[in-house]
Structure 1
Amino acid sequence: MMAKPKLILLAVILIVVAAFVLLGGPGLLTLENLQRHQASLDQWISGHLLLAASVYALIYVAVTALSLPGASVLTLAGGAFFGNAVGLLAVSVASTIGASIAFAVARFLLQDTLRRRNSNTVRRIDEGVKKDGPFYLATLRLVPVFPFFLINLAMGLTSMRLWTYVWVSWAAMLPGTFIYVNAGTQLGQIESVGDIMSAELLFSFALLGLFPLMAKFVVAFLRRRRVYAGWQKPASFDYNLLVIGGGSAGLVSAYIAAAVKARVALIEKDRMGGDCLNTGCVPSKALIRSARVADTLRHADRYGLDSVPVTGSFKRIMDRVREVIARVEPHDSPDRYRALGVDCLFGQASFVSPWELEVRHNDGHTERLTARSIVVATGGKPALPPVPGLVDMNPLTSENLWQIEERPERLLVLGGGPIGCELAQAFARLGSQVTQLERGDRLLSREDADVSSMVLSQFQADGLDVRLNHSVVAFRMEEGEKVACCEHAGESVRIAFDQVLVATGRAANTEGLGLERIGVETLPSGAVPVEDDMSLRYPNLFACGDVAGPYQFTHAAAHQAWYAAVNGLFGQFRRFRVDYRVMPWVTFTSPEVARVGLSEAEAQDRGIACEVTRYDLNDLDRAIAESEDRGFIKVLTPPGKDRILGAVVVGAHAGEILAEFTLAMKHGLGLNKILGTIHPYPTWNESAKFAAGEWKKAHAPGTVLRLLEKLHAWRRGADRNALRPRKDRQDSDA
C-alpha cells in the first residue's frame, strides 16, 4: 500500500493537473492563443525582461514537471518572445529542471510499483542504463521519436543517478532546443507575407524537419565510434559475410548471402544441419511416427480391425530414425551449399576482432578470416539441472538419445515442456514404462489450462505416470537400483528407474567463441543479447537462432536469419527490425497442440479484452470418419470484431490446420474472409471455416433476422397482418 507522503504528493499533483485542465490551461498553451496575444505580450516583456523570463521559465518547469501538454509550443514561444539567446537559456534551464523533477517524482511515487508490474520493460531499460550509462539516455534525448515526458518517467524507474540524469539531459536536449527556439524566433519576426518566404524562416523550418534524421545519423555515428574504439578495421575483407554454425539459422543466412552473390563462408565444427536434422526435429518426428503406428496397431479395433500386440526390435526403430536423417541430410549437405557458392569450412571459430575470426580446422591447421559482417548461429544444447547425482546416472538428453539401441524398460522423464512431452508419450507408446516429472502444476505450462488438461488425459490413457508438482532433489544408487528422490506436497517420494531423460531446458552454445575478447557478454543461459535488427554490440556483428532466443524453433531461427543476413549485407543502407508478431509453434504430442498469437491466459494476464470462439472437432466429418474426433479450436478476437488475435488447435493435424490462421493473422484477414473461402470436403481444414462460422453465429444481427422471419412469413401468406400497422389490423378485425 502507498505510504502517506506518497499519497499526499500524488493528491497535490492530481489537484494541480485537474485545475490546469478545468481552468482552460490546454487552450492557453496553443500556438494560436499565443499569436493572438503576441503584441501585448511583446510590449510587456520589453519592459520587464528579467521578470518575464523568470515567469516563463517557471511555467515551463511546471509544464514539464507535471508532464502537461504544451512543451513544444512553449519552446517555440521562447524564441518568439525572447529571441535566440535568452530563449535558449530559459528553455534549456527550465526544461532540464522540469525533467529532473518529473524524474525524481516518478522515482519516489512509482518506482517500486511499476518495477513490479512492468518488470520486463524496466529490465530492458535498466540493462541499457547499466551497459551504456549516459550514452543510452543521450540517445533517447536526441531522437525525437521518444516523447520526452515518457523518458522522464521511465528513467525515474531505473537506477540512474539524479546528477547524471541532469547533466546528460541538458547536454543532449540542447541541439533540439536550439532548433525549436530558433524556429520560434523566426516565427515571431513575421510581419508581412514576404517574411514567410524569407531565407531565415525557410532554413529554420528545414532544420526543424531534418533534425530527427540528423539526430539519428549523429547517434548512429557516435555509437559506432564508441563501440569500435580501440579496434583497427581491416583495409579489405576476405568475405562479405562469415557465418558461424551450420544449423537452420546458419544455413539460411549463408543461403541468402549466396543468393545475392555475396562472398560467404560457413564454419561448422561438427555436422551440417545442426540440432534440427541430427538430434532434434527430424529424428524426434521419425520416432513419434513409429510410436503413433504402434498405437494404431494396438487400437486397430477403432477402425473395425482386430487389435494386435505390438512387437518388434527397438533397434530397427532407431535404424529407421537414422535412415530418415540420412535421406534429409542432402538438403543441408556441404556439396549442396558449395554448389550454391558457399565456402563450407569445418572447424572451431573464435573472435579476434569484430571483423576477424580465427578458425582451427578439424584437420589441425589454423587460419584467420575477415568479413564486413559476421553472423553467430551456433545454436543450443540441452541444459542439465544442478541436481546432485544426476551426472552419475548417465542421463539421456535430446542430443544423445539417438545413440541408444535398446528400449528403456523404466524411463524417467524430467520436464513437462514440449520436448519432454513428445518423447515421454512416444516411449510409452513404444512399450516403455514412463514416469514423467514436472515441477509445475500442469504439463505444457505456456498453453491454456484446458489444453494442458486434454494432453494430460491422453497421457494417462496411454499409461504414462505423470507426476505434477514434483521436484527432484537428488539421484542415488540404492541396492543396485537407480533412484530419484523427489519432494511433493512436503513429503519425500522415491522413484526407481532404469534410465532418465532430461528435458528441462536448453542453453546456448557460446563456449570457445572468444566473445569476451570483443566485449560481448552472454546472458545466464549462455545466449547473446541482440537488438531488434539481430545485431550484437557491434553494428556488423549479428546472431540468430537458439543462441539469440527468445524462441527455440527451427522456423524462428530461419526467420531471424533473414534479418541477420540482410542487415549484415545491406545494413549500411537500411536496417530491418525483426517481426515476431505472428510466430506459430506446434507440440507434436497426440493430440497435437498448435498455437499462434495470444492464448486466452496471456490475454487475461495482459488485460487485453477479447472474445473466445470455440469449435469442437467432434463435429467435423473428417475427424469422425478417421476416429480422431477429439480436440478443439479456440480463436481470440477483439470484442465485436473478426480480427484474429490468436488461435490454438488441439487435435490430429493441428499443425496443418493452424497454417490457415497464421496466414490470416500475417496478412490481416479476419474470420469473415476464412468463412467466405471455399474449403474442399471432407478435409481437416474445414474446421477453420467452421470455427469462423461459430464466430459468425455468435454475431448474427438478431433484429435483422427477426424482421426477415416476419418478411418470409408474410411472403408465404402465413400472416398477412404481420407487417401491417397496428391500427389497420384493429380496423380489419372489427
Structure 2
Amino acid sequence: MTSAHYDVIIVGSGQSGTPLASAFAAAGRKTALIEGAHIGGTCVNEGCTPTNTMIASGRVAYLARRGEDYGVQTEKVAIDMVKIRQRKRNIVSSRADGSRKRLVGVDVINGEASFSAPKTLAVQMIAGGEKTVRGETILINTGERPRPPNLKGLDRIDKKRVLNSTSIMELAEVPEHLIVLGGGYVGLEFGQLFRRLGAEVTVIQRAAQLVPKEDLDVAVSLNKILEEDGIRIHLLTSAVSISNAGYKRRPIVLETDRAGSISGSHILFATGRIPNTDMLNLDWVGVKTNSRGHIVVNERLETTASGIYALGDVHGGPAFTHMSYDDFRIIRANLILASVPANTVSLTTTQASRSRILTPYVIYTDPQLAHVGLHERDLETMQRKTKTARMPMGYVARAIETDETRGLMKATVDAETGDILGFTCLGVEGGEVMSIVQTAMMGGVKWWDLEAAVWAHPSLAESLNNLWAYLQ
C-alpha cells in the first residue's frame, strides 16, 4: 500500500472536477484527481456528447425521408448502425482526449475512492492494489448513475436486450421494437432517435403526462409531435412484469396494468438516476445526505464536514452539465480567486450563485424543448399579477420557410413591471431562441423591449416581435 498527501483532492472528473483540478494546479496547489472510469465524466463519455452525436444522425435520417416534402427525390434510406456508433465513439474519444490534455500538473489516480478517516481516502486502484491519499481540501464530484431496473421477471431476460442510457448507445443494430420505460428527457430523446433510425417504439409513462416537470400544454404538444413520428405512448401506465416470448424478432413481453401485453426486442429503462454516494463511506467523516442520497451543501457548496465540498449532480438540484460547470465557478471564486490579490485577477465570478431560478435547459427531442425561468406551477404561490402568451410555431416565418412548424412558444410576464418570468420554446432550434430570452431576463430587459427590437429577417429571433401580442 502506498500513500500521498495533497493540498486538494477531487473525486470524480466530471464537468466541474476536471477544470477545477487544472485551476488548482495552476494556482500552485498540489492536486490529485481520482477517477474510476474515464476523464470527462458522464457528459463527455455517456451523456450529452454521445447522445447528441447520435441524435444528429437520427435527424439526417428524418430529413432524408422527408426529401419529397422539399421537392428533393431521395433513394430509400438505409441505416448503418455500426457507422453511427463509430462516429459517436470517435467524437467522444476526441473530447475525452482534450480533457486529459488539460490536466497539466495534476496527479491522475485511476481507481475507486472511499473515506477511511477524516481528510483521508482509500483508493482501490483499477490496476490492482490500494493507495491512501490525504488532502486538506476534498471535493466530491462523483455524479449519478442510471437507476437499476426493478421489474418482476427481469432476471430471466437476455441482458443484451435490457438497456440503460449508456448501453443503448453501444447497439450494433437498430432494435426491431424498443420499449421505453419512462417518459422523461432520456426516454424521449432515445425513443425518438431510434424511431427515426427505423425502430418501432412504445413509451410507457406512469405519470399523466410526458415530461412531468413541464407545463401541461407544452407536454401535450410534445406528445402530439412524437405520436406524429409514429411513437406509441401509454400514459398513466405501469410495467407489471416481463417474460420471454420465444419469438426471434421480439423475444420479450412486457405486461402492463393498462395497456395489456407488449412484445418487443429491447427494453430501455429510463426511470431516473441515483447519486454515486453509497460507496464513499460518507458517514465516517460526517458528510450528511438527504433521503435520496444526495449530499447536503450550502450556497458555497460546503458539506456538513469541514474542508469537504460537493459538486455537480451528486448534491442534487438541476442535473445539467452547465449547472455543474457553474459549481466549478463557485469553488474557483471562493477557494482560488479569493486568495489572489485583487490587482492581479478580475473577480468577475459570482462567489455564491446558488440562485437557480433562471436555470436554462434543453431537451434534445426534435423539435427541441427549451425552457428558462418559472413554470406555471411556480406562479401559483406568487403574489403578483401575471400574463401568459402562447404562439404556435406555425406563426413563425422562418419555421414556415423551413417546414419546421411543429410546437409552440410560451412566455409569462409580470403584468405590472414587464419583467419576463419564464419562457419555453418547443420548436426548431428552441435552445437558441430560449438563450436570447434568457439574456434579456439576466439584463432586466422588459418584454416590450423584445417586441420593439429590430431582428434580422427572416430569423427565428424575429418571432420575439410577435409573441407578445398573445399576452392575456
TM-score by length of 2: 0.89
**Could you say which residue in structure 1 is the equivalent of 2:414?**
638
| In structure 1, distance between residues paired with 2:22 and 2:456 | 36
Deviation of 1:571 (Å): 8.0
Is 1:603–1:609's contact at 8 Å kept on the other side of the alignment?
Answer: no
The equivalent position to 1:346 in structure 2, one of 95, 110, 126, is 110
Question: In 2, distance between residues paired with 1:276 and 1:420?
Answer: 17
Where does 1:488-527 land on structure 2 (aligned, <5 Å)? Answer: 488=258, 493-527=260-294
Name the CA distance, whole Å, in 2 between partners of 1:567 and 1:352: 27
**8 Å contact from structure 1 (residues 595, 647) kept in 2:** yes
Q: What is the CA–CA distance in structure 2 between the aligned matches of 1:251 and 1:620, rounded to whole Å?
A: 41
C-alpha displacement of 1:243: 0.7
CA shift for structure 1 position 570: 7.2
CA shift for structure 1 position 365: 4.2
Question: Structure 2: 5+ residue runs without aligned partners?
Answer: 341-349
Distance 2:269 2:231 in 1: 16
Tell me the equivalent position of 2:379.
603
| 3-state SS in 1 of match to 2:257 | strand
Q: Distance in 2 between matches of 1:622 and 1:667?
A: 26
Deviations 1:224-261 (A, max 9, x none): xxxxxxxxxxxxx9433211001112123324434544
Counterpart code for 1:295: Y
- Give the AA of the match of 1:593: L
Q: Name the TM-score, length of structure 1 as normaliser.
A: 0.59
Which residue does the alignment assign to 1:487?
Answer: 257
Match of 1:410 in 2: 177
Shift of 1:383: 0.2
Task: Tell me how far apart the structure 2 counterparts of residues 354 and 391 of structure 1 sit (CA, whole Å).
Answer: 40
Q: Judging changes above 3 Å, is the alpha-carbon distance between structure 1 residues 265 and 667 closer, same or farther for their aligned structure 2 residues?
A: farther
Counterpart in the other structure of 2:346: none
Q: Which structure: greater strand fraction?
A: 2
1:581 aligns with 2:351: no
Alpha-carbon distance in structure 2 between the residues aligned to 1:482 and 1:275 = 30
In the alignment, structure 1 residue 682 sits paired with structure 2 residue 452: no
Secondary structure of 2:16 counterpart: helix
Q: Kindly provide the amino acid, as one letter, of the partner of residue 145 in structure 2.
A: K
Greater helix percent: which structure?
Answer: 1
**How far does residue 385 in structure 1 lie from its aligned partner after superposition?**
4.2
SS at match of 1:248: coil
Give the one of 653, 660, 663 matched to 2:436.
Answer: 660
The 1:252–1:392 alpha-carbon spacing in structure 2 relative to 1, beyond 3 Å, is farther
Q: How does 1:25-424 map to 2 (within 5 A)?
A: 238-333=5-100, 335-338=101-104, 341-393=105-157, 394=159, 395-424=162-191
Query: After superposition, what is the alpha-carbon deviation per residue over 1:31-86, rounded to whole angstroms, capped at 9, x for unaligned?
Result: xxxxxxxxxxxxxxxxxxxxxxxxxxxxxxxxxxxxxxxxxxxxxxxxxxxxxxxx
* Contact 2:218 2:408 survives alignment (8 Å): no
Q: Between the two proteins, what is the percent identity of the paired residues? A: 30
Alignment RMSD, CA only?
Answer: 2.4
The separation in 1 between residues aligned to 2:144 and 2:397, in whole angstroms, is 42
| CA shift for structure 1 position 382 | 0.5
Q: CA deviation at 1:475?
A: 1.3
Change beyond 3 A, Cα 1:527–1:369: same
Conservation of the 8 A alpha-carbon contact between 1:535 and 1:564: no
Higher RCO (Cα < 8 Å, 6 or more apart)? 2
The alpha-carbon deviation at position 510 of structure 1 amounts to 1.8
Structure 1 gap ranges (5+): 1-236, 700-734
TM-superposition CA deviations, 1:158-184 (whole Å, max 9, x none): xxxxxxxxxxxxxxxxxxxxxxxxxxx
> Is contact 2:286-2:305 (8 Å) kept?
no
CA contact (8 A) 1:636 1:645 kept: yes
Q: Within 1, Cα distance between the matches of 2:327 and 2:203?
A: 33
Q: 1:576 to 1:493 in 2, by over 3 A?
A: same
Alignment-mate amino acid for residue 34 of structure 2: I
Separation in structure 1 between the aligned mates of residue 270 and residue 321 of structure 2, nearest angstrom:
17
Secondary structure of the corresponding residue to residue 19 of structure 2: helix
Of residues 267-276 and 304-313 in structure 1, the stretch that sits farther from structure 2 once superposed is 304-313
CA contact (8 A) 1:294 1:429 kept: yes
Q: Find the aligned partners of 1:376 and 1:565 in 2 and give their Cα distance.
A: 15
Residues 1:601 and 1:302: Cα distance change in structure 2 (over 3 Å) = farther
Once residues 97 and 457 of structure 2 are traced to their aligned partners in structure 1, the CA distance between those partners, rounded to angstroms, is: 37
Distance 1:649 1:367 in 2: 50
| Counterpart contact for 2:22–2:102, Cα < 8 Å | no
Q: Which residue of 1 aligns with 2:237?
A: 470
Say if 1:342 and 1:666 are closer, same or farther in 2 by CA, change over 3 A. farther
Q: Contact 1:438/1:467 (CA < 8 Å) preserved in 2?
A: yes
